[in-house]
């Protein structure tokens, strides 16, 4: 009997009673392959054929625990494929929620029943359905990797919890003007860019002067920054955002020789979030607003103003850089006034048709 590496995978390869058996190990390590080999031999000695019916029990006996697998998955898959902020979020979900609940169970033992128990336990802690769905999303991606790595045969079906669409805050047209006027002069260009181009805070901080085309009136969003780590924008999607003339004029006046970053410290260094977290709350107080906001509200304001002015949600999606239209649908209700105006036109007098106005309606077409 022997275990070998074949095509990059640990494989058991042996003969029993004149018949050769060659199978890939569910655990792709030498130790896991040897354990799998002993399990196969034991089944053969007991007269149990290695049929598909035995696959689940073999899988269960050799699959790693959830705790060890999730730790490996975070180190291999997540750190290779995700942005630093996403890695941090996944690490927190695994450490605080998934590992404590599923930890000692084997990956192959996670089924629909265990998932429903997990949801019930999380609800009893007072967590919202949206938060629980986020945790389940991480678990599903990890289980897909387990399937791709031949640790499990199938990924269990996950029934998502019904989550209420999240509320969001935005400034109306007058509030946005008052906020801009009340912002300290140093940060007005940055506030204007958030209000008129809808960039995320990380995208604003990472914006370079060369990313702004003032001749053609557009901004190229190519990168974002999180805790001084530069990377691609969210979802890995770069985008081009046309900007209005008012913002072009503000950014022309803002041009400087301090460094490559558009918004930066006096010495050209990156602005930190601690430096800017009080900018908007102070501006809110000066503007007499009845609430305090942070930077993401300016992005919501940009999208809301577009929808309220009748722009299609698909256009707003492209400008915001959303990967799918579902994320943009939170603004859909703001277009209700435009819809009412469209329906009201049904009560207006019908337009006078050309010619004598007499039409004959046939099955296939209208003929005058």
Identify the active-site residue in 256, 258, 278, 296. 296
Out of 106, 200, 300, 305, pick the active-site residue. Answer: 200
Among 160, 174, 149, CA closest to 26: 149
Tell me, rounded to whole angstroms, the distance of Cα 193 from its chain centroid. Answer: 23
Helix (H, G, I), strand (E, B) or coil at 53: helix
100-126: b (≥16 Cβ within 10 Å) or e: ebbeeebbbbbeeeebeebbeebeeee
Q: Which residues of 51-89 are buried (b: 16+ CB within 10 A; e: fewer)?
A: eeeeeeebbeebbbbbbebbbebbeebbeeebbeeebee
Confirm whether 208 is a catalytic residue.
no
What value, to the nearest 5°, has the Cα angle with vertex 283 and ends 279 and 286?
145
The yes-or-no answer on residue 165 being catalytic is: no
| Active site annotation includes 105 | no
Indicate if 38 belongs to the active site. no
Quote the CA–CA distance of 272 and 203 in Å, as a whole number. 13
Identify the active-site residue in 97, 188, 234, 300. Answer: 234
Residue of 90, 97, 196, 331 with catalytic role: 331
Catalytic residue, candidates 299, 305, 309, 363: 299
Strands 2-6 and 9-16: antiparallel
Residues sharing a CB contact under 8 Å with residue 59, sequence separation 6 or more, in sequence order: 26, 108, 151, 152, 153
Q: Is 331 a catalytic residue?
A: yes
User: DSSP for 169-215?
Assistant: ----HHHHHHHHHHS-GGGHHHHHHHHHH---HHHHHH-BGGGEETT
Asked if residue 240 lies in contact with residue 218, where contact means CB atoms within 8 angstroms, the answer is yes
> For this structure, is 113 an active site residue?
no
For the beta carbon of residue 28, count every other beta carbon within 10 angstroms: 16
Please count the other Cβ atoms lying within 10 Å of the Cβ belonging to residue 304. 22
Give me the phi and psi of 4, to 5 degrees please.
-135, 165
Distances (CA, A) of 59 to 44, 62, 178, 280, 309: 16, 5, 63, 55, 58
Tell me which H or E stretch contains 9. strand 9-16
Catalytic residues: 200, 234, 296, 299, 322, 331
């Amino acid at each position: 009997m022997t275990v070998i590496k074949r095509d990059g995978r640990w494989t058991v390869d042996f003969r029993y009673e004149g018949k050769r058996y060659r199978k890939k190990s569910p655990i792709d390590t030498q130790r896991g392959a040897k354990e799998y080999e002993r399990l196969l031999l034991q089944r053969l000695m007991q007269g149990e054929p290695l049929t598909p019916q035995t696959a689940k029990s073999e899988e269960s006996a050799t699959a790693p625990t959830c705790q060890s697998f999730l730790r490996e998955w975070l180190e291999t898959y997540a750190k290779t494929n995700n942005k630093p902020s996403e890695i941090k979020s996944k690490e927190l979900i695994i450490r605080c929620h998934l590992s404590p609940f599923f930890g000692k169970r084997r990956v192959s033992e996670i089924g629909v029943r265990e998932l429903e128990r997990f949801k019930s336990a999380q609800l009893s802690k007072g967590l919202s359905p949206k938060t629980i769905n986020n945790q389940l999303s991480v678990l599903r991606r990890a289980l897909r990797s387990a399937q791709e790595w031949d640790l499990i045969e199938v990924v269990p079906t996950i029934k998502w919890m019904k989550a209420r669409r999240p509320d969001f805050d935005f400034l109306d047209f007058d509030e946005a003007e008052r906020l801009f006027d009340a912002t300290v002069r140093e940060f007005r260009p940055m506030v204007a860019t958030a209000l008129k181009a809808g960039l995320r805070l990380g995208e604003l901080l990472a914006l370079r002067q060369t990313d702004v085309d003032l001749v053609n009136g557009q901004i190229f969003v190519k990168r974002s920054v999180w805790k001084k780590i530069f990377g691609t924008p969210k979802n890995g999607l770069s985008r081009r955002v046309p900007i209005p003339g008012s913002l072009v004029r503000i950014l022309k006046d803002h041009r400087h020789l301090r460094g490559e970053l558009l918004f930066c410290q006096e010495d050209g260094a990156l602005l930190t979030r601690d430096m800017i977290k009080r900018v908007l709350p102070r501006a809110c107080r000066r503007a007499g607003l009845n609430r305090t906001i942070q930077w993401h509200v300016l992005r919501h304001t940009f999208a809301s103003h577009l929808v309220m002015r009748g722009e299609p949600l698909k256009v707003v999606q492209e400008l915001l850089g959303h990967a799918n239209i579902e994320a943009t649908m939170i603004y859909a209700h703001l277009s209700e006034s435009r819809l009412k105006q469209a329906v009201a036109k049904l009560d207006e007098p019908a337009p006078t048709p050309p010619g004598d106005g007499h039409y004959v309606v046939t099955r296939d077409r209208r003929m005058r």
